Amino acid sequence: MTDQSHIRNFCIIAHIDHGKSTLADRLLEFTGTVSKRDMQAQTLDQMDLEREKGITIKSQAVRMRYQALNGEEYELNLIDTPGHVDFTYEVSRSLAACEGALLVIDSTQGVEAQTLANLYLALEADLTIIPVINKIDLPSAEPERVKQEVEDVIGLPKEECILASAKEGIGTQEILEAIVSRVPAPIGKEESPLRALVFDSHYDAYKGVIAYVRVIDGKLFEGERLSMMAAGSSADILEVGCFHPKMVSTKTLTTGEVGYIATGFKNVKDCQVGDTVTVPGALATVEPLPGYQPAKPMVFAGLYPVDSNDYPELREALDRLKLNDAALYYEPETSNALGFGFRCGFLGLLHMEIIQERLEREYNLDILATAPSVEYHVTKVGGEIIEVSNPSDMPNFGEIEQIEEPHMDISIFTPSRYIGTIMELVTAKRGIYKELKYIEAERVLMTYEIPLAELIIDFYDQLKSRTQGYASLDYSFGSYRASDLVKMDILVNAIPVDALSLILHRESAYYQGRALVEKLRSLIPRQLFDVPIQAAIGSRVIARETVKAMRKDVLAKCYGGDISRKRKLLEKQKEGKKRMKMVGSVEIPQEAFMAVLSLGKE
């Protein structure tokens, strides 16, 4: 139990790859929270997938004890946050549990798009910012330039910057001292009834929903009864503790502290992120804490089991993933082509990719995914407004009054020499220019509004390749705007394949239809008969290609009667077939459903 004056709650925010997780490792090591021997690189990234991709997905909260140079011991709670824009919502949750933030900036790069995006979130949450200029061990480091940038762009005095190398452990102690001296201690009301903020949660098969909480006022104890203010649910607290970094029971959490509550709830709905925990006796008198905006899925796709017998398993796997991931949305859907599956909603493409990979790795499912789509607001003739997240659900042209699509506000940081090529790209993607601002002699910040549907189709890849990787991108939802859109159907062997339908801008529909049909021709394997592939808008076919028939006799290659070799070959072929779906009498591979994503690429 630590007195509030000796507690510091902080997080680390940074642009992706600027060294947040590495710095967290150094802090854990320096404070002896994790011994060097046990130190596995990036302790906070617990999921395998995170380690492999080198990204942080779920926030984590770790308690450290630090003996400061003033002789006093402090309890430092570090709340780790994800760096990728898809997970911005997790960042804001974590920020609400802190009083300070380390803003890590790579000294070889400088301020990037997400440095600023995260900074703004931190400022909104009223946090004290400590700028840390990282990677000064690298020969290409320019700490002085970046310090100046911190002053000019971020508006913090450059004297406040701490120079560090998370890799080599330079600056670690100085950072810890700055946390103690600059970040304010929590100022909760110790004698008031309990109020704790749920900033994250995960599901444990034995202990139910584990809520990650920041105690704002009062205290909480193991065995006590708790009430959730928004959900209206209550439960007996099974266990209370902190992350060290593994969960360690502490029996109690006091004002200002960060830790976890094992609630025993079997359903995340009973204990949602953003809710306020209190005790039943105080329900009538205490004010709930400001909650969070629930995360809203932005990108939608159909997920189908390759083997239709796996449908129940897929449902169960999604149910389970949802327990830990409030942002994942899904509902059953049927496709003429693909059978029974789910329409899923994701925060962005990375989120989609992660869910798909987890379904395959952790649940051993073979999944076929349709191309990602956004959610359209369609006003029908007569005034009814419907939401359409699956292109095949788009009403017929004659029934539509207007289609609105989500537009994102994007900001691009780039060396000024790339302004031209970026403008070209954004214009081709139907972007609407907002502002161009010089932040240094040779670096600019460009802001646009751009349809999300264009953003998710290889925009980022193109931006990176046009700027040799120098430009960085951040985006957030802007507004719904009317656009001139059409639905394009794809017919394979004269059968419309609903899962291949897509929504396009009218002006580019013809060109894209042609390109898509051509691409599909190269992706759909030859059959024993000619397979026509057509793109149609309404009843008008705008493009057509044919996959020529071929007699595919692989066994002919196996001269002699070597049966085992023959079997091997057959098995190999079976493997290769895994990600295929029979549509009518034609097999369509997974790549075909994603073809639209790679249209822009050579």
Annotated binding site for GTP: 17-22, 134-137
Between 20 and 358, CB nearer to ligand GTP: 20
Binding residue (CB under 6 A) for ligand GTP from 138, 494, 528, 549 = 138
184 interacts with ligand GTP by CB under 6 A = no
Binding residue (CB under 6 A) for ligand GTP from 62, 91, 127, 166 = 166
Give the span between the Cα atoms of 78 and 63, in whole angstroms: 6
- Cβ contacts of 326-335, under 8 Å, gap ≥ 24: 326/201, 326/268, 326/272, 326/273, 326/294, 326/295, 327/89, 327/295, 327/297, 327/351, 328/297, 328/355, 329/297, 330/303, 333/302, 333/390, 335/302, 335/304, 335/370, 335/392, 335/498, 335/499
What does the buried/exposed string (b/e) look like for 344-369 if buried means 16 or more CB atoms within 10 Å of the residue's CB? bbbbbbbbbbbbbebbeeebebebbb
Q: Which of residues 91-120 bind ligand GTP (CB under 6 A)?
A: none
Q: Which of residues 28-87 bind ligand GTP (CB under 6 A)?
A: 54-56, 83
497 interacts with ligand GTP by CB under 6 A = no
Between 10 and 300, CB nearer to ligand GTP: 10
131 interacts with ligand GTP by CB under 6 A = no
- Determine the angle formed by the axes of helices 88-95 and 113-124, rounding to 10 degrees: 40
429 interacts with ligand GTP by CB under 6 A = no
Between 14 and 485, CB nearer to ligand GTP: 14
Binding residue (CB under 6 A) for ligand GTP from 19, 110, 131, 372 = 19
466 interacts with ligand GTP by CB under 6 A = no
Residue pair 303/371 in contact by the 8 Å Cβ criterion: no
Looking from the CA of 424 toward its CB, the CA atoms found within 13 Å total 8
Binding residue (CB under 6 A) for ligand GTP from 8, 58, 63, 135 = 135
Report DSSP state, residue 442: T
In the complex, minimum distance from the CB of residue 226 to ligand GTP, in angstroms, rounded to a whole number: 32
- Three-state secondary-structure class, residue 229: coil
Helix (H) or strand (E) holding 250: none
Between 14 and 536, CB nearer to ligand GTP: 14
Between 9 and 134, CB nearer to ligand GTP: 134
Pick the closest to residue 297 from 338, 331, 333, 320 (CA basis). Answer: 331
Between 60 and 263, CB nearer to ligand GTP: 60
In the complex, minimum distance from the CB of residue 136 to ligand GTP, in angstroms, rounded to a whole number: 7
Cis-peptide, bond into residue 415, ω within 30° of zero: no
Any idea what the Cα angle at residue 247 is, between residues 9 and 364, rounded to 5°? 115
In the complex, minimum distance from the CB of residue 103 to ligand GTP, in angstroms, rounded to a whole number: 11
CB-based closest residue to ligand GTP: 83
Residue indicated by tokens 């824009």: 85
Instruction: Please choose, out of 9-17, 146-154, 178-186, 379-387, the segment that lies near ligand GTP by the rule CB under 6 A.
Output: 9-17
Pick the closest to residue 59 from 201, 183, 207 (CA basis). Answer: 201
In the complex, minimum distance from the CB of residue 351 to ligand GTP, in angstroms, rounded to a whole number: 14
Between 325 and 498, CB nearer to ligand GTP: 325
Between 1 and 138, CB nearer to ligand GTP: 138
In the complex, minimum distance from the CB of residue 159 to ligand GTP, in angstroms, rounded to a whole number: 21
Residue 419, phi then psi, degrees to nearest 5: -50, -45
Helices (H), 436-528: 452-455, 459-466, 506-523
Residue pair 477/85 in contact by the 8 Å Cβ criterion: no
In the complex, minimum distance from the CB of residue 167 to ligand GTP, in angstroms, rounded to a whole number: 3
21 interacts with ligand GTP by CB under 6 A = yes
- Three-state secondary-structure class, residue 489: strand
232 interacts with ligand GTP by CB under 6 A = no
Q: Report how many residues bind ligand GTP under the rule CB under 6 A.
A: 19
In the complex, minimum distance from the CB of residue 26 to ligand GTP, in angstroms, rounded to a whole number: 9
353 interacts with ligand GTP by CB under 6 A = no
Residue pair 169/30 in contact by the 8 Å Cβ criterion: yes
583 interacts with ligand GTP by CB under 6 A = no
Between 149 and 204, CB nearer to ligand GTP: 149
Binding residue (CB under 6 A) for ligand GTP from 8, 9, 18, 100 = 18
Which pair of tokens denotes residue 252? 């109690």
Can you count the helices (H) and strands (E) in the chain?
14, 33
Site residues for ligand GTP per CB under 6 A:
14, 16-22, 54-56, 83, 134-135, 137-138, 165-167
